Amino acid sequence: MPFIYTSPTPLHFSLFGLVFDWRIKYADLLVLSAALFAAIGTYWLLYDHPNLNKQATFIHLVLPTLTAGAMSIPLNVISIGIAWWVMFAFGSILIILTLIAEYYSINPHSSLFAMARIILIPLAIALFLLLSISSRSAGYRLYLQVLLLGTLFTGIFTRLLALSDIYEKKKAILASALLFMQALVACHYLPLRSVPFGMVLSGCVAFLTSLPFTQEPSKNIPHTVRDAAWYALPFFVGALFFL
């Protein structure tokens, strides 16, 4: 990415009264290419797993694809140097861990299934934090943030929900997506800088994604909500330090 420079290609069009004025850069295409190659590589890696449900293969491609795409974004803006190579090494290790965790998450009866879940849940929230901060820093308008972050949340929540044992997953996805959209709209109009904005939204994501894992037959609803809130609390407290 840092060795190839091209002029941006303008892309101007209108759709349903909305005017889109974008400038497509070569580096942006490389981000999409990295995400696409990660999806293809994950599919190739998991295809021969004896316990893989071929109809549910797509769910295992979400996090590796997002990880490769998210790790490519800072590589676009950091100049070649120690920091660039550190980020490159960190992103490579993260992608490898994601692939390993996805492989062992296929079989819930595997001895490493719990470890795979421990890796995938924080990874998904960290990816959302990175992309939400990036979207706020880029100054995206509300409809773009709804499109980008709403799609990202739905994909992450759907993936993590597959690791839980709850039933009626479609209702949980719909209800959580609606709650997240409300939080996103509220945070968009609050005078929050990029880091507090990302941390508050990530706290909401941590809360919503933790609810399915804190539900137990012996717990009532207030106890379930309280336990899920503990996962969101560090993000909300951390946001106060960046105000």
> Concatenated DSSP letters for the chain?
-TT---PPEEEEEEETTEEEEEEE-HHHHHHHHHHHHHHHHHHHHHTT-TT--GGGGGGGGHHHHHHHHHHHHHHHHSPSSHHHHHHHHHHHHHHHHHHHHHHHTS-TTSTTHHHHHHHHHHHHHHHHHHHHHHHHHTT--HHHHHHHHHHHHHHHHHHHHTTS--S-HHHHHHHHHHHHHHHHHHHHHS---HHHHHHHHHHHHHHHHHHHHH--TTS-HHHHHHHHHHHHHHHHHHHHTT-
Buried b (16+ CB within 10 A) or exposed e, 203-237: bbbbbbbbbbbbbeeeeeeeebeebbbebbeebbe
Summary mean pLDDT of the chain:
84
Tell me, what's the pLDDT at 3? Answer: 67
pLDDT at residue 1, rounded to an integer: 65
Residue of 147 and 78 predicted with greater confidence: 147
pLDDT digits (tens, 9 = 90+) for 188-217: 999 989 899 999 999 999 999 988 888 776
Q: What is the pLDDT of residues 101-153, one digit of tens each?
A: 888 888 888 888 888 888 888 888 988 888 888 888 878 788 888 888 898 89
Residue 220 has pLDDT above 80, yes or no: no
* pLDDT > 90? residue 186: yes
The pLDDT of residue 53 is: 79
54 vs 88, residue with greater confidence: 88
**What whole-number distance in Å separates Cα of residue 43 and Cα of residue 35?**
12
pLDDT digits (tens, 9 = 90+) for 1-25: 666 666 777 777 776 666 667 777 7
Report whether 206 contacts 125 (CB < 8 A). yes
Task: Considering only residues 220 and 200, tell me which one the structure prediction assigns the higher pLDDT.
Answer: 200
Q: Is the pLDDT of residue 100 over 80?
A: yes
**What percentage of the chain reaches a pLDDT higher than 70?**
93
Q: What integer pLDDT is reported at residue 203 of this predicted model?
A: 92
61 to 18, 77, 82, 106, 159: CA distances (angstroms): 32, 26, 31, 12, 9
Residue 184: the pLDDT is 93
Query: According to the model, what pLDDT value does residue 196 have?
Result: 92
How far apart are the C-alpha atoms of 208 and 188, rounded to whole Å? 19
